[in-house]
Structures are given as C-alpha cells and as structure tokens.
Amino acid sequence: MSNKKITKKQVEKRVQDWKGRIVNLHSLISKWLKNNPEYSIKNESSIEMYEELMQKFQVPKESIKILDIYYKNHIIATIKPIGLWIVGTNGRLDILYKGGSVTLVDKSEQFKEPEWFAYGKIDKNKGNPFNQKYFQKILRNN
C-alpha cells in the first residue's frame, strides 16, 4: 500500500488491530502459564506508540501494554512492543530475558489471524513459529 493511498481511518484501524493482537498474545501466554502456579504475569507498564504514519495523519498516541513474566515472584522476561510498521512484518515485539532476546514478528497479512514467528540467537535467520513449546524453551533459558 503506497503512502498516497493511505487514509487516517486506515492508520487508526491498523493501530487498533495491533493493540488487539498484542492483547490476544498476552492472553495466549497467560493460558500457557495457567497450569504452573510458580509463574505469573503482569501488564501494568506500557509504552507509548506514536509511529511515523500516526504522526503524519495526526492519529493520537496510543499506550501499548508491556507484559512482564515472573517466576516465583522474580521477573524473568519482558515482552515489549517495538513497532507496527516494520518492513516485511505486520508488527514486532521483543522478548527480553536473562539468556538473551528474541524478536517476535507477525508474518500475517493485515487484519488476518496473526502468524507469530520468533527469531532468537540460534535461529535468527530462519525463525520458528512462536508456540507454547518455543515459549517454554525461552523460559528454560532463564
């Protein structure tokens, strides 16, 4: 989609879609951790989203939640939104943890079901589908 055809309404719709995909990802991770009471999550902090297209079309800033993951009441990982308009993706988040970091990107088309892929230090070129098994591997590296 070229910038000439983009409208303010489309930018607003993409921002709301992005926020929804992040909320759904947080819910999925919460579900994965539900059966292990030693883990807990908090999403009390947030990051301000005000990307270039939002500024261009005067779309108001948005607050996007950051997800903190705890093990026995100690923070072990943070999932931080990086940006929506990232070349080759439908948005990017970073998972930061003691063992390193993982770049998490949505490879889906706009407004479609997310296809989360993880790019860590071992698989940074190929990437892996981000699923419960991959997530547990990250947690084991803490």
Question: For the chain, which residues make up each domain, given as ranges?
Answer: 3-140
**Cβ distance 107 to 92 under 8 Å?**
no
What pLDDT is recorded for position 99?
A: 83
Q: Consecutive 10-residue runs of the chain (142 residues): their mean pLDDT?
A: 78 98 98 95 96 97 97 96 96 94 96 95 81 92 76
pTM assigned to the model: 0.92
CA 8 to chain centre: 23
What pLDDT is recorded for position 1?
A: 47
